[in-house]
Structure 1
Amino acid sequence: MTSPDPALRHALALERAHHEHCRAALATMADGAREQVVTSEDVSASGADAEVLGYRLRSRAKALRELPEGPLFFGRLDFAAGDGGGEHAGQHYHVGRLRITEDPAAPPLVVDWRAPVSRAFYQATAREPQGVAVRRRFGWAPGSRGDSADLTGLEDEHLGRGESRTSDIVAREIERPRVGPMRDIAATIQPEQDDLVRGDLAASVCVQGAPGTGKTAVGLHRAAYLLYTHPQRIRRGGLLILGPNRTFLSYIAEVLPALGETGVRQSTLSEEIARHPVTATDDEKSAAVKHDARMAEVLRRALYARVAAGAAEPLSVPDGAYRWRVPDDVLARIVAGVRDEEPPYGVGRERVRSRIVRYVQDRAERRSGPRPSAWVRRIERARPIGACLDAVWPRVRPEEVVAGLLSDPGTLAEAADGLLDADEQKAVLWAAGPPRSWKSARWSAADLVLLDEVAGLLEHPGGYGHVVVDEAQDLSPMECRAIARRAAFGSLTVLGDLAQGTTPWAARSWEPVLAHLGVPDAPVVPLTTGFRVPGAVVALANRLLERLDVDVPAARSLRGDGEVRMRRTAPGEVPDAVADAVRDALAREGSVGVVAADADVPGVRAALDAAGIAAAGPDEPGARVTVVPAGVVKGLEYDHVVAVEPAAVAEAEERGLHRLYVVLTRAVSRLDVVHARPLPF
């Protein structure tokens, strides 16, 4: 609320006026960007230059046009005068999500939160003020769309005087109700988070983050920071955000646009590797073997078993009326030599072709001098050479390799010798037997991972400049390899929590995950201080953490608030107790998430419908009440969580206790545990 203090009212009036000034300048920037796009279309330049210029200007105009409405700044830095203020002595800067200026050559009205000068906003302390005399934070009305009247308060921290205080504005922003999609945290980034956000592009990092520590937000803000700091290098290769599922991606979708970044691909790994629709389902044993790292070598053997140096026969290459002969032993040496070099399979085939042609060219030039390039191209296309290649290094598709391996016990036994035992080989074989052709095969989700592995052996895929991987603890070794291929020439930000690993192959430590991702030396940085999950909820979750088979530090919370309520009821009365808990939650502000074992969700929704409570599914992030299967709640947050029958959640899968840990830590205000059976903690 606005203070009656005249000095504060005057300061607020000045800041509101500055905000109006910034709004007008931003509108001018957007209009100018549109005009530049129109003007560039008439600029005389080479086709390539005009295309690049047009793309950049259109991207800039689109980003300004699509910038979500909201306050244009959240902080201000006043640097000390004289030597104490360093290179910014006597200057003041407003800090916001986007740089705003009236003219490119003029001092900015707002500096971007990612700019070097803005780092002091997050890192300066009374002990190390970094030249800052006063750090000011602004309080905006919840849900503000950027109206200057919504600037309701401000706090000044006089670091130059050695003053240090806990920010009420930051606390309110962190704790305010969570309704709708995830928001950015540019205004509330903590020093340890800022260190990770501003890490070097060339360095990969793994963040082991306890619930509520902001690891997902850190990853997204790191992506925005890299795009700002290295625009050319990142945009040349692209930036990829990998989430565990579409529900999660829809939840985080608005964070980067709010930070002014719209050209980022947000996807799931299954979408990245989807060569075919998933039309088959593996049992648990089959899926576990297919996701095992040993399958990489099985597939490599199966692919290169098609290379047959011994199948080479003497080759006769026509050259007009003359024929050049290549003996079988020469061909065998060429094939064996290329095979030993271990190139991608497709590269190896072309390398064999070029060496055969070179052999013929050497003999032709000894006979009658240098040969023109047209002659070389004609020899390369000679049918006998193509037929020879098909015999010794045949063309192949990933589908042919995988289908042949999983439908033929003999082929699998040869490729898996010494790697998979008889039971494991039996588990991965297709029960229906070989399809008529790979085109009629039915592929499971695990089969698509195998197809991607073979595709990577055939030809290196194009990579990204940086990849952010969230919920990485759930990745299998083979999935990690698929990601590593897409980051072979870039860096990785790996986010996760070992305690929240729920897949059968979930990691118990980060070392093997990082090794399979191709970054074994990446540092593991723990985040243990929670900002979103209140202390009462963290205390309950830590009781369950003691029973999990992972070695991670217990979480702690900076919030002493929060409420946990246990609702014990008779077995037949659980639906009514759930409805009562939801009604109680609706009497308060914020979102309500009702989380149950996947099989129990239809019954929970029916009970809420019968009680007259409208509830949405997890794909509608703006709903007041959402019923969420435990299997997809990871990464989501709700102000109030109603956890239904924890024992059923724990028993639903092999790592059910880990799933329950996820469920309990989704609440950022209040947790109701409704149960008829004994609790697993």
Structure 2
Amino acid sequence: MPAEAPIDDDREALRAERAHLAESRAALRRMREHAEGLSADTAADWVSRQILEALLDQRVAALADHPDTPLFFGRLDRDAVPGEDDELPATVYVGRRHVHDGERGRPLVLDWRAPVSRAFYQAGPAEPMGWRRRRRFGFQGGELTAFEDEPLDGRALGPSAILTQEIERPRSGPMRDIVATIQPEQDAIVRAGLPVSVCVQGAPGTGKTAVGLHRAAYLLFTHRERLARGGVLIVGPNRAFLAYISSVLPALGEVRVDQATIDDLLGEPTAAEDARTAALKGSARMGEVLRRAVWAHLAKPAEGLVVTRGAARFRLADHEVRETVAALRGTTRYGAGRAMLAQRLAHRILVQMEQRGGAPDDRVQDQVARSQPVKRLLDQVWPKLTAEQVLFRLLSDAAFLASAAKDDLTGEERAALLWAKPYRSHRSAKWTAADRALLDELRDLLERTPSLGHLVVDEAQDLSAMQLRALGRRCAAGSATVLGDLAQGTTPWSATSWKEVLAHLGQDGEVTELTTGFRVPGPVLDFAARLLPHVAPGLAAPRSLRAGAGSLDVRAVDDVPAALAPAAAEKLSLQGSIGLITADADVPACSDALTAAGLAHGVLGADSGGDERLLVVPATLAKGLEYDHVVVAEPAAIAAAEERGLARLYVVLTRAVTSLTVLHRADLPEELAP
């Protein structure tokens, strides 16, 4: 149990810990003041000065002290060995960032990512890792209020009350970090090496998103210089989700990590299309179709090449041009191949110059490569292309599509891909989300896509093969952390195998499964898990560590809109955030019902996280979000709204951290029957 200082020794220990907290905060303030006093004026030039100023600004931001966020949350103790020369102190404090005493250089708090801090998460009676005691601290609004000791000598102890309280603490606003509550199986994923790509199959409430974010923070700490060059990118399903997780990394001292949706990376869609066509375009088979479509633009030369230099004329026969083109075809990106063709043709001309007694150099070769005769031949044989030109031709020219598709697409599939009403040109074409992934593939066939150092992809089960290939290109020279739940796949192309996901990404990664839920109460998780045999029969049912008595309330009502306001008011009398989740089409009616009852609320949008305590949440935006209390309106309507509606309902039913109320007038989906 938390030691609320019931005896004198505990009171004295609590005073000592509070004094250490005050000393640590004062040291952090001095560290920040020192960073603020540094100047970039010593840089050698303007560019270096700008870079140094940016780095100093990041350093100052990383040293921010948030009064309501504990500087440390744990402590490790061991017995000092007399006479042993050991730089590691007998007591270390573990926190969100490193804090040291500037005067003596003494570490007051060790960063949770430091190698020695691993013992705080991994040490146990079976393997104490050289430590004899772990201490956890309880905080209230930044004030240290309690501590709890766990001996590591094998004595059996009950569950940690402080750990349980932290996990169950009501939330409001954006997602919090879990650095104080990381479990051993989660820590093993977080600390996996940079070269290793990790795939996490995580049931609701297992903390997979938090694990992915903490892994990014750990890698940035451990491989700072390398990742500063390549960069780290977090990819989420929508902007509301990104807003929800936006505070986690800054709270851990990492302020320079980009976040994006797949539409941010590939381009916003400007048109819609039916699910079957989108699924077809998202198929990995389209990769080979696009490759053939690009290289089909090469043409045989109608004549050779003649270059005039002064009074001399130099000629390459058409068969020599064909040989040069054939040697380059398919060995490089299309755009690079065009540039290389110009240089190789120019080189063959230079050989003729040398044979006639000349002494041309590289400048002469560049001049020949840029000459009008060579440019005319390039435009005929290896024309310039854009991704939009190629896709426009593919989707509007039946003969060209058939030639590029060969046996990879059936006649029926080719007919489905062709535009019913072709656009006039690629400049006026409107592109769907699936088209954007095809355009990205085409751009990479033309010019190489730059690679990041590390990529974190959340809700990866909802991405098509072509979208995954697009992300894979962005970590081709790096690694990835892939997060998701096959049971929560709600798109027409949702993945059924993580090995396939990793293959499309081009990563040879390890698949780890998290099945223990720390956030969702047991009755809620068990209720939702009735859908698992129907949405993901191959997955094991998740289990919750929380008994959650009274957390589930399923009510049959005569009028769902009329029942919403009383249910919401009931939740507002409790602590924490409230999400009222409904089918997208019913959002206006639910919002109107709350307004009529005088309940202040917000409506979650695709581009915003929503700051109100009570939020009306469209079912399609609920994925990845958590609320202390959830009210679900008419589950049958959610399940019937889309092809994979049962998977959507599974997502919706697992958003609650403390309580779930289900209101229904129509019969519940039969798959929810016990």
- Give TM-score, length-normalised by structure 2: 0.95
- 1:63 maps to 62
Structure 1: which 5+ runs fail to align? Answer: none
Question: Does the CA contact (< 8 Å) of 2:460 and 2:484 recur in 1?
Answer: yes
Question: What SS does the corresponding residue of 2:348 show, helix, strand or coil?
Answer: helix
Name the stretch that deviates more: 544-553 or 331-340: 544-553
1:329 corresponds, among 319, 332, 339, to: 319
* Seq. identity, %: 51
1:649 aligns to 2:638 (yes or no): yes
- Does residue 417 (structure 1) correspond to residue 406 (structure 2)? The answer is yes
Cα–Cα, structure 1 residues 89 and 265, in superposed 2: closer, same or farther, change >3 Å? closer
1:375 aligns with 2:374: no
Separation of aligned partners in 2, 1:151 and 1:320: 87
Residue 274 (structure 2) pairs with residue 288 (structure 1): no
Q: Once the 2 structures are TM-superposed, how far is the Cα of residue 312 of structure 1 from its aligned partner?
A: 4.6
Query: What is the match of residue 526 of structure 2?
Result: 539
Query: What number of residue pairs does the alignment pair up?
Result: 664
2:516 match: 529
Question: 1:208 deviation in Å?
Answer: 0.4
Of 612, 617, 633, the residue aligned with 2:598 is 612
Change (3 A) 1:550 1:271: farther
Superposed displacement of residue 394, structure 1: 0.6
Q: What's the C-alpha RMSD, in Å, of the aligned pairs?
A: 1.9
Q: Which runs of 5 or more residues in structure 2 are unaligned?
A: none
The 5-angstrom pairing of residues 205-604 of structure 1 reads: 205-274=198-267, 277-308=268-299, 310-341=300-331, 343-435=332-424, 437-519=425-507, 521-562=508-549, 563-570=551-558, 573-604=559-590
8 Å contact 2:138–2:145 — kept in the other structure?
A: yes
- C-alpha separation between the residues in 2 aligned to 1:84 and 1:388? 82
Instruction: Work out the CA distance in 1 between the residues paired with 2:271 and 2:633.
Output: 31
Matched residues in 2 for 1:194 and 1:86: separation? 30
Equivalent residue for 1:108? Answer: 107
Q: Label 1:14 to 1:67 Cα distance change in 2 as closer, same or farther (>3 A).
A: closer
Cα distance in 2 for partners of 1:532, 1:266 equals 24
Question: Bigger CA drift: 578-587 or 156-165?
Answer: 156-165
Equivalence for 2:650: 661
In structure 2, how many angstroms separate the alpha carbons of the residues matched to 1:312 and 1:84? 88
For the 8 Å contact 1:68–1:258, the answer to whether it is kept is no
Which string of whole-angstrom CA distances, capped at 9 and with x for unpartnered residues, describes residues 291-327 of structure 1? Answer: 111111111111111011x235211012122121111
Q: How does 1:1-80 map to 2 (within 5 A)?
A: 2-36=4-38, 38=39, 40-41=40-41, 43=42, 45=44, 50=49, 52-65=51-64, 70-80=69-79
Greater shift after overlay, 388-397 or 577-586?
577-586
Asked if 1 retains the 8 angstrom alpha-carbon contact of 2:239 and 2:609, the reply is no
Q: Which whole-Å CA distance do the structure 2 matches of 1:83 and 1:677 have between them?
A: 74
**Cα 1:666–1:88, aligned 2, differ >3 Å: closer, same or farther?**
farther
Q: Summarize the Cα distance change of 1:654–1:575 in structure 2 as closer, same or farther, 3 Å threshold.
A: same
Structure 1 residues 85 and 73: CA distance shift in structure 2, 3 A: farther
Contact 2:301 2:321 (C-alpha < 8 Å) held by counterparts: no
Q: Which deviates more from structure 2 when the two are superposed, residues 499-508 or residues 418-427?
A: 418-427
SS of the residue aligned with 1:628? strand
Q: How big is the shift at 1:609? A: 1.2
Gap change, CA 1:554 and 1:362, over 3 Å in 2 = same
- The 1:412/1:632 distance shift into structure 2, 3 A limit, reads same
CA contact (8 A) 1:617 1:628 kept: yes
- How far apart in 1 are the matches of 2:61 and 2:336? 40
TM-aligned CA deviation for residue 546 of structure 1: 2.1
- Which amino acid counterpart does residue 460 of structure 2 have in structure 1? A
Shift of 1:66: 8.0
Please say which of residues 295-304 and 466-475 is displaced more in the overlay: 295-304
Q: How does 1:143-154 map to 2 (within 5 A)?
A: 144=141, 146=142, 150-154=143-147
Distance 1:299 1:662, change over 3 A: same
Moved more, 195-204 or 623-632: 623-632
C-alpha separation in 2, matches of 1:66 and 1:280: 46
Checking the alignment, whether the CA contact within 8 Å between 2:346 and 2:366 is kept in structure 1 is: no
* C-alpha contact (below 8 Å) 2:126/2:154 kept by paired residues: no
Secondary structure of 2:116 counterpart: helix
Distance 1:164 1:48, change over 3 A: farther
Query: Structure 1 counterpart of 2:585, which letter?
Result: A
Deviation readout 1:123-181 (Å, 9 max, x if unpaired): 0102211111221111001xx2x4xxx11100111214645442111100001112111
Please tell me whether the aligned partners of residues 276 and 492 of structure 2 are also in contact (alpha carbons under 8 angstroms): no
Question: For 1:410 and 1:242, how far apart are their aligned partners in 2?
Answer: 37
Do residues 137 (structure 1) and 128 (structure 2) align?
no
Aligned-partner Cα distance in 2 for 1:558–1:77: 25
Distance 1:69 1:61 in 2: 19
* 8 Å CA contact retained: 1:567, 1:577: no
User: 1-side partners of 2:330 and 2:535: how far apart?
Assistant: 46
Give the distance between the partners of 2:368 and 2:333, measured in 1 at CA. 24
Pair 1:613–1:49, CA change in 2 (3 A)? closer
Shift of 1:91: 1.7
Change (3 A) 1:90 1:31: closer
In 2: Cα distance, 1:137 partner to 1:539 partner: 31
Instruction: Note if 1:204 corresponds to 2:192.
Output: no
Deviation at 1:617, TM superposition (A): 1.7
Counterpart CA distance in 1 for 2:524 and 2:330 is 58
CA distance in 2, matches of 1:288, 1:455: 21
Please report how far the alpha carbon of residue 278 of structure 1 lies from its aligned counterpart in structure 2 after TM superposition: 2.6
Do the aligned partners of 1:312 and 1:332 also contact (CA within 8 Å) in 2? no
Tell me if the contact between 2:305 and 2:318 (Cα under 8 Å) persists in the aligned partners: yes
Aligned AA (2:181)? T
Whether the aligned pair in 1 keeps the contact of 2:343 and 2:365 (CA below 8 Å) is no
Q: Is the 8 A contact 2:571 2:629 kept in 1?
A: yes
AA aligned opposite 1:554:
A
**3-state SS of 1:546 partner:** helix
Change (3 A) 1:223 1:67: farther
**Deviation of residue 89 (structure 1)?**
6.2
- What SS class does the counterpart of residue 180 from structure 2 fall into? coil
How much does 1:666 deviate? 0.5
The answer on whether the counterparts of 1:291 and 1:479 sit within 8 Å (CA) in structure 2 is: yes
- What whole-Å deviation, never above 9, does each CA across 1:508-536 have from its counterpart, x for those lacking one? 121211111111x3111000000000111
